[in-house]
Amino acid sequence: MDFDLTEEQRMIRDTAYKFAVNEMAPVAQECDREEKYSRAVLEKACEAGLVGPVIPEQYGGAGLGWVEQAIITEQFARIDLGLCLCVTASVFGSEHILFFGTDEQKKKYLPPLVSGEAISAGAFTEPDAGTDVASTRTRAVKDGTDYVINGNKMFITNGTICDYMCVLCVTDTETEIRHKRHSIIVVEADRPGITANKIKGKMGIRASDTAEIAFEDVRVPQENLIGKEGRGFYQLMEFFDATRTMVAAQGVGLAQGALDKTLKYVQERKTFGRPLASNQGIQFQLAEMATKIELARTLTYKAAWLVDQGRTNPALNAMAKYFAGEMAVWVCDKALQMHGGYGYIDEYDVQRFYRDAKILEIYEGAKEAEKMTIARRLF
Ligand SMILES: Cc1cc2nc3c(=O)[nH]c(=O)nc-3n(C[C@H](O)[C@H](O)[C@H](O)COP(=O)(O)OP(=O)(O)OC[C@H]3O[C@@H](n4cnc5c(N)ncnc54)[C@H](O)[C@@H]3O)c2cc1C
């Protein structure tokens, strides 16, 4: 359905959808089956100007907003969430540099992302610190003009393929204020002491690279600090306020894709001598799916638009992400059910959508974490 988009935004939407149909759909099944990241799709997306739209023009980007990023994300996820992440998450983590970095850091780290010469990552989660991210243990200790980093990160998107990552580290163990212990430091992936191991056997988004990373006496110049020392936790929360709207857009796109496929299927498939679509029981379910997708879309674009207006509403962003994720899981369940046995085999895309959807309730803050943010606002 058509959200009230400008002419330029409609053009971006159509370009992104065509790109996804032409470049992502043909390789989606293969990348899923073989757990294969596609650098080729990323490079083509860069050529098409679809990467890093929020990066300002002076750093190589298009200087657009989070609404435009949501539009692109939605259209990609409508075809395949794993490949959507290969492209849209190729800049993940770099938002720390965009929001809090110096001009010098922006000039150094942002342009190569837009051209596809580099891939970034955001390394926050640890084996024992996910939802409670403030319990991070990775330490960065000052030594001369460097930080020396030791610790482990878990579930890091682009972990084995990134060129640099923005890492959440503890830089102050003395302060009694728990949330003032952290800093974000940009770490180039080829620094000695870093080991990244790909996590295989994911349930979904298998085209996306996920890794565990160990840091052993990794030396990084102190100039790699992003923003202010001791502000890392607060920076991370602001970062999520923008990026969570993108997870919401992923949910909207993925659910729309599952509905697209189901609409086609129920008109083709016949039972009892007539198309499945002619049953009111089926029509009512399709109507409910479309309604929930539209609700999530409205929430998502409102949240992203407020970010663009400089009026970020953390509770609304949390609502958008939690609702869109849960909605996508629900829609995919209905979609698969209407495909019957065919929905259960990997020749049909709907099972991939079903598997991919679940991550939307887990990453960038599980839905329970979103509800904590919403509840805090209520009280
Ligand atoms: C494929 C994938 C990609 C990812 N990419 C990245 C990445 O690029 N960078 C990164 O840093 N992280 C990444 N993550 C990590 C992700 O953000 C975390 O998995 C997520 O934040 C949840 O943390 P956890 O797994 O440690 O779960 P836990 O924190 O152990 O929580 C387990 C469950 O309990 C719930 N829970 C926790 N505390 C409470 C509470 N107080 N009340 C009620 N319920 C609660 C949680 O919501 C969750 O459902 C990724 C994860 C996956 C699977």
Across 56-60, average pLDDT: 97
DSSP state of 89: G
Ligand 1 atom closest to the CA of 129, numbered from 1: 26
In a domain, 188, yes or no: yes
Q: What is the mean pLDDT of residues 98-109?
A: 98
- Whether residues 338 and 241 fall in one domain: yes
Looking at the structure, tell me whether residues 223 and 238 fall in a common domain: no
Domain residue limits at 144: 120-229
Q: Is there an atom of ligand 1 within 6 Å of 303 CB? A: no
Is there a single domain that holds both residue 285 and residue 309? yes
Same domain, 363 and 241: yes
Residue 289 and residue 369 in one domain: yes
Does ligand 1 have an atom closer than 6 angstroms to the CB of 156? Answer: yes
Residue 328 is assigned to a structural domain of this protein: yes
* 197 and 324 in a common domain: no
Mean per-residue pLDDT, 339-351? 97
Is 218 strand, coil or helix? Answer: strand
Which atom of ligand 1 sits closest to the CA of residue 131?
29
At residue 270 the predicted structure's pLDDT band, cuts being 50, 70 and 90, is very high
Instruction: Identify the CATH number of the domain in which residue 79 sits.
Output: 1.10.540.10
Same domain, residue pair 280 and 295? yes
Instruction: Among 125, 184, 187, say which to mutate for ligand 1: greatest number of ligand atoms within 8 Å of CB.
Output: 125
Query: What average pLDDT does range 20-44 have in this prediction?
Result: 98
Residue 234 has pLDDT above 60, yes or no: yes
Whether residue 224 is found in the same domain as residue 133: yes
Q: How many domains does the chain have?
A: 3
Integer Cα distance of 288 and 171 in angstroms: 49
Q: How far apart are CA 290 and CA 41, in angstroms?
A: 29
User: Are 334 and 284 part of one and the same domain?
Assistant: yes
Ligand 1: residue whose CA is nearest its atom 35? 368
pLDDT confidence bin for 1, thresholds 50/70/90: very low
Whose CA is closest to atom 30 on ligand 1? Answer: 130
Same domain for 238 and 225: no
Judged against a pLDDT cut of 50, whether residue 370 lies above it is answered with yes
User: 124: Cβ below 6 Å to ligand 1?
Assistant: yes
Q: Are residues 135 and 173 in the same domain?
A: yes
| CATH code of the domain containing 304 | 1.20.140.10
165 is a domain residue:
yes
- Report d(CA 322, CA 262) in Å as an integer: 24
193/218 same-domain check: yes
Ligand 1 centroid to Cα of residue 127, in Å, is 10
Establish if 353 belongs to a structural domain.
yes
Residue 43 is assigned to a structural domain of this protein: yes
* Residue 187, in any domain of the structure: yes
137-182 pLDDT tens trace: 999 999 999 999 999 999 999 999 999 999 999 999 999 899 999 9
How far, in Å, from the CA of 62 to the mean position of ligand 1?
A: 32
Mean pLDDT of 250-257: 98
Structure letter (DSSP) for residue 91: G
> Which tens digit of pLDDT belongs to each residue from 276-298?
999 999 999 999 999 999 999 99
**CA–centroid distance, residue 227 to ligand 1 (Å):** 25
Q: Please indicate, yes or no, if residue 282 is contained in any of the structural domains.
A: yes
Angle at CA of residue 295, ends 73 and 309, nearest 5°: 60
Helix axes 7-19, 66-79, angle to 10 degrees: 30
The pLDDT of residue 2 is: 55
**Of the residues 73, 92, 111, which one is the last residue of a structural domain?**
92
Is the distance from the beta carbon of residue 368 to the nearest atom of ligand 1 less than 6 Å?
A: yes
| pLDDT over 50 at 85, yes or no | yes
- Among protein residues, the one with the nearest Cα to ligand 1's atom 17 is 363
The answer on pLDDT for 191 being more than 70 is yes
- CA-nearest of 41, 354, 142, 330 to 51 is 41
Residue 257 in domain: yes
Residue 90 reports pLDDT greater than 50: yes
Summarize the confidence of residues 318-332 as an average pLDDT: 98
% of residues, the chain, pLDDT over 90? 98
Q: What was the pLDDT predicted at 3?
A: 60
Q: Which among 213, 229, 245 is the end of a domain?
A: 229
The pLDDT mean for the chain works out to: 97
pLDDT-based confidence at 4, cuts 50/70/90? confident
Residue 154: CATH number of its domain: 2.40.110.10
Answer yes or no: 35 catalytic.
no
* Of 193, 211, 229, the domain-final residue: 229
